[in-house]
Amino acid sequence: MDIMKYKVHVVIAILAFIALAFSVMIEVEKQGLSGVGAVCTAVKSDCAEVQGSAYGKTLGIDNPYYGMVGFSLLIILSLWQYTRPKRWRFYLIAAGVFLAGLVALWFLYLQAFVLSMYCVYCLFVDVIALVLVVLAMWMIAKRQYL
């Protein structure tokens, strides 16, 4: 087994960890538990307004919780794929990444065209999700899954 062939999975895990950290920061900010909102204020971002909008929850659950669960699973699956590659696991990773990309595009659309406000933390998470989609497409094109 050529373990170096799978190093892209480590990159996916690192990016997913960064997105997880931002998801946690969004929820911490939303709950008012910390002063991390200073970044939003410094860049004139509308984090509180975006998170407090009608689109801040899905099925009654704060959106950052979905990100925390999804990115945590992506980290676990990617590191597991790195150490013990299986085709089914790659497909699960790719499906999760593409779902995250679709959600990111939806949230970017909402911020740009519906709310006309931006949350800087949300933008980081969305951009990372789209970068993960590009990585997954590259892996598929290069047949890096097995």
Neighbours of 22 (CB within 10 A): 22
Measured CA to CA, the distance from residue 83 to residue 69 in angstroms comes to: 21
- Check whether 142 has a pLDDT greater than 60: yes
User: What's the pLDDT band for 146 if we cut at 50, 70, 90?
Assistant: low
For residue range 24-69, list pLDDT tens digits in order. Answer: 988 988 887 766 556 566 566 788 889 889 999 999 999 999 999 9
Specify if 105 maps to a domain.
yes
- Structural domains counted in the chain: 1
State the average pLDDT over residues 5-33: 89
Amino acid at 80: W
Q: Measured between alpha carbons, how far apart are the two ends of the chain, in Å?
A: 10
**Percent of the chain whose pLDDT exceeds 90:** 65
pLDDT (0 to 100) of residue 19: 98
Specify if 9 maps to a domain.
yes
Q: Which of 59-73, 110-124, 130-144 has the lowest mean pLDDT?
A: 130-144
Q: Which two tokens stand for residue 22?
A: 């931002």
Specify if 52 maps to a domain.
yes
Specify if 66 maps to a domain.
yes
Q: Which two tokens stand for residue 16?
A: 């997913």
Q: Which domain holds residue 105?
A: 3-141
Q: Which residues on neighbouring strands pair with residue 57, listed in sequence order? A: 62
Specify if 15 maps to a domain.
yes
pLDDT (0 to 100) of residue 30: 82
Specify if 146 maps to a domain.
no
State the average pLDDT over residues 80-106: 94
pLDDT (0 to 100) of residue 1: 46
Domain of 11, CATH number, reads 1.20.1440.130
Specify if 48 maps to a domain.
yes
Average of per-residue pLDDT values in the chain: 88
pLDDT (0 to 100) of residue 36: 58
State the average pLDDT over residues 120-138: 95
